[in-house]
């Protein structure tokens, strides 16, 4: 790409890149660096310096453990940057639809550009915004339970970063040819759970028009009691219980400490926002059921074998070790036994049943409940993906996160370079990308395939993307019913006491 395009924003003039039918601006600060006295504070608007700024390099990632896929990546506490990618050429009157991407990674790892700039979405006429937000103990450490009003927002500042980025986009995206009234928030995994939080939080209202939740839900928050217990455990690990001393500690020490307390519990989800009287006053699914996101169309779904990714990464023994305790904690011993017996009608052995159940505990059932809740107040289109991207080993079919490269139409590192072409899978992958584009652009899901009616809890229509993509009514109904109506905070089981 060449350094050509310049746009004028509240920050001043931004010089970006152009080429291959798109334009891109990278490393744009949407808030002040959250360092020093601003550590664990709500994000502050960026300094308005004016002048000309070169926006051709990505900003640092949020502090996190090293990425084996990208060992040269720069991580820094100064991480609140976003990137914008647009089609070349003038925007139509009224502007183009906007996609704001919230990356996944368990609120512990990840970054905005992990899937690139969104070039294929841009070539389809969409303005793409990708962001970084604070992670782990620097983004979700509930210090209010330890230090009271001295740090009221530490348990939600990563979520507040997402809100601040949306506000910046609404104020500035018209300079990039985007329409601030046509913003779709889209996330996968922790990003999708963040979408659920935005749908349920009073701070999310009026900031976006549509939402896409891939393998998420709207129940993944900590109680103040759980958040406080985890905060105390981290402070014990650091050997530091003085607030001023904590503010002075190098950020790297927090990352190292949070990784140490994670050891042995890799199959469980440690970090998440804590309930907060102003930001997240209740578990988000509850206000969504009452209509907090009324009128916001939702594309929502998950993959058919979410737990398989964890089994491959961690090994089956580690991935299934917490299953009995988690399931009994939710359903009781008898209910957990009945649930696993139900899965055994579909999968070959008990270990596979536990992998399937843990995937549904974290993603499948929360996704279904979010679809049920929002469908009473806006059009909802529900999907399930049964395949991985073409070229990816079939043992990852329907695995967690394997759909993102199909939706974004980007290469996947796990893909085999010399793998045989499978036309049916190639077509399914293309249908997924087209469906996402249509929804972002028009607010209606249409995959150029089978009819895809809006979802409702009566018939529960789900478009299943696979080699023979088809509409299925209430798929795996027996497993859904075996979970019952018991409420729990998905993926949050961690022995913090």
CA dihedral 99, 103, 107, 110 (to 10 degrees): -150
Active-site residue 241, yes or no?
no
Please give the distance of CA 126 from its chain centroid, rounded to a whole number. Answer: 19
pLDDT of residue 496: 44
Average pLDDT over residues 226-246: 96
Q: Is the pLDDT of residue 3 over 50?
A: yes
Quick check: helix, strand or coil at residue 196?
A: helix
> Contact, 164 vs 43, CB < 8 A?
yes
Cα separation, 454 vs 376, whole angstroms: 11
Q: Which residue in the list 119, 400, 433, 490 is annotated as catalytic?
A: 400
pLDDT digits (tens, 9 = 90+) for 264-281: 665 567 899 999 999 999
* DSSP states of 168-227: HHHHHGGGGTEEEEEEEEEEETHHHHHHHHHHHSGGGTTS-SEEEEES--S---B-HHHH
Quick check: helix, strand or coil at residue 361?
A: helix
- In this structure, the number of other CB atoms found within 10 A of the CB of residue 260 comes to 12
Q: Is the pLDDT of residue 433 over 60?
A: yes
- In this structure, the number of other CB atoms found within 10 A of the CB of residue 90 comes to 7
The C-alpha angle 74, 78, 80, rounded to 5 degrees, equals 100
Closest to 185 measured CA to CA, from 106, 290, 299: 299
Q: Is the pLDDT of residue 118 over 60?
A: yes
212: which 2 tokens?
A: 């896409």
pLDDT digits (tens, 9 = 90+) for 434-471: 999 999 999 999 888 899 999 999 999 999 999 999 99
- The verdict on residue 274 lying in a domain is yes
pLDDT of residue 22: 97
Active-site residue 490, yes or no?
no
Report how far apart the first and last C-alpha atoms of the chain are (Å, whole number). 52
- The verdict on residue 430 lying in a domain is yes
pLDDT digits (tens, 9 = 90+) for 126-143: 999 999 999 999 999 999
| Segment 227-230 long-range contacts (CB within 8 Å, at least 24 positions apart) | 227/142, 227/145, 227/155, 227/274, 227/275, 228/142, 228/144, 228/145, 228/146, 229/496, 229/497, 230/141, 230/142, 230/270, 230/494, 230/496
Q: Is the pLDDT of residue 157 over 90?
A: yes
Active-site residue 189, yes or no?
yes
Quick check: helix, strand or coil at residue 83?
A: strand
Q: Which residues pair with 188 in a beta bridge?
A: 214
> Contact, 31 vs 43, CB < 8 A?
yes
Q: Which residues pair with 377 in a beta bridge?
A: none
- The verdict on residue 491 lying in a domain is no
CATH at 271: 3.40.50.1820
Q: Return the residue matching tokens 């928050």.
A: 221
- The verdict on residue 454 lying in a domain is yes
Please give the distance of CA 133 from its chain centroid, rounded to a whole number. Answer: 11
Cα separation, 381 vs 23, whole angstroms: 31
Q: Which residue in the list 113, 151, 306, 479 is annotated as catalytic?
A: 306
Average pLDDT over residues 327-333: 93
- The verdict on residue 152 lying in a domain is yes
Share of the chain above pLDDT 70, in %: 95
> Contact, 293 vs 184, CB < 8 A?
no
> Which residues form the domain of 153?
2-483
Cα separation, 25 vs 122, whole angstroms: 13
- In this structure, the number of other CB atoms found within 10 A of the CB of residue 370 comes to 31
- The verdict on residue 488 lying in a domain is no
Dihedral pair phi/psi, residue 24, rounded to 5°: -140, 140
Domain count, the chain: 1
- In this structure, the number of other CB atoms found within 10 A of the CB of residue 167 comes to 16
Q: Confidence band (pLDDT; 50, 70, 90) for 24?
A: very high
Q: Of residues 180 and 315, which shows the higher confidence score?
A: 180
Strands 380-385 and 178-188: unpaired
Q: Which helix H or strand E contains 96, and what residues bound it?
A: strand 96-102
15: which 2 tokens?
A: 């010089």
Distances (CA, A) of 84 to 138, 277, 428, 432: 25, 33, 28, 23
Q: Which residue in the list 137, 174, 189, 352 is annotated as catalytic?
A: 189
386: which 2 tokens?
A: 């049964």
* DSSP states of 122-156: HHTT-EEEEE----HHHHS--THHHHGGGSTTTTT
Least confident of 290-294, 346-350, 489-493: 489-493
- For the chain, what is the mean pLDDT? 93
- The verdict on residue 495 lying in a domain is no
- The verdict on residue 463 lying in a domain is yes
pLDDT digits (tens, 9 = 90+) for 170-179: 999 999 999 9
Share of the chain above pLDDT 90, in %: 83
């Amino acid at each position: 790409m060449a350094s050509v395009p310049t746009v004028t924003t509240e920050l001043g003039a931004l010089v970006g890149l152009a080429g291959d039918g798109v334009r891109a601006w990278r490393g744009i600060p949407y808030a002040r660096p959250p360092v020093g006295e601003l550590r664990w504070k709500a994000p502050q608007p960026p300094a308005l310096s004016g002048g000309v700024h070169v926006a051709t390099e990505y900003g640092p990632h949020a502090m996190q453990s090293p990425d084996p896929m990208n060992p040269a990546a720069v991580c820094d506490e100064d991480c609140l940057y976003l990137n914008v990618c647009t089609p070349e050429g003038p925007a139509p009157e009224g502007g183009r639809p906007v996609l704001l991407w919230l990356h996944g990674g368990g609120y512990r790892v990840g970054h905005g550009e992990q899937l690139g700039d969104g070039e294929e979405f841009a070539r389809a006429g969409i303005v793409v915004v990708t962001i970084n937000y604070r992670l782990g103990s620097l983004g979700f450490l509930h210090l209010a339970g330890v230090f009271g009003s001295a740090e009221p927002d530490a348990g939600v500042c990563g979520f507040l970063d997402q809100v601040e980025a949306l506000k910046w986009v609404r104020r500035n995206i018209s300079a990039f040819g985007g329409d601030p009234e046509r913003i779709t928030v889209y996330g996968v995994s922790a990003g999708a759970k963040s979408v659920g939080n935005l749908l349920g939080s009073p701070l999310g209202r009026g900031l976006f028009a549509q939402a896409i939740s891939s393998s998420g839900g709207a129940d993944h928050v900590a109680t103040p009691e759980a958040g406080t217990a985890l905060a105390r455990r981290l402070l014990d690990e650091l050997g530091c219980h003085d607030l001023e001393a904590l503010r002075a500690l190098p950020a790297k020490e927090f990352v190292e400490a949070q990784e140490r307390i994670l050891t042995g519990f890799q199959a469980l989800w440690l970090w998440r926002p804590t309930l907060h009287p102003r930001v997240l006053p209740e578990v988000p699914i509850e206000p969504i059921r009452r209509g907090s996101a009324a009128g916001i169309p939702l594309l929502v779904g998950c993959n058919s074998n979410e737990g398989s990714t964890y089994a491959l990464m961690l090994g089956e023994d580690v991935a299934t070790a917490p299953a009995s305790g988690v399931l009994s904690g939710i359903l009781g011993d008898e209910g957990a036994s009945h649930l696993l017996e139900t899965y055994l009608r579909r999968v070959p052995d008990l270990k596979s049943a536990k992998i399937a159940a843990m995937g549904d505990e974290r993603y499948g059932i929360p996704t279904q409940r979010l679809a049920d809740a929002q469908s009473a107040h806006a059009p909802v289109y529900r999907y399930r993906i049964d395949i991985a991207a073409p070229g990816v080993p079939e043992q990852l079919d329907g695995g967690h996160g394997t759909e993102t490269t199909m939706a974004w139409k980007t290469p996947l590192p796990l893909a085999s370079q010399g793998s045989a072409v499978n036309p049916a899978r190639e077509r399914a992958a293309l249908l997924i990308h087209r469906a996402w584009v249509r929804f972002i652009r028009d607010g209606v899901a249409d995959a150029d395939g089978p009819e895809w009616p809006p979802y409702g809890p009566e018939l529960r229509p789900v478009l299943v993307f696979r080699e023979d993509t088809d509409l299925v009514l209430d798929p795996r109904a027996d497993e859904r019913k075996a979970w019952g109506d018991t409420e729990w905070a998905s993926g949050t089981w961690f022995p913090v006491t």
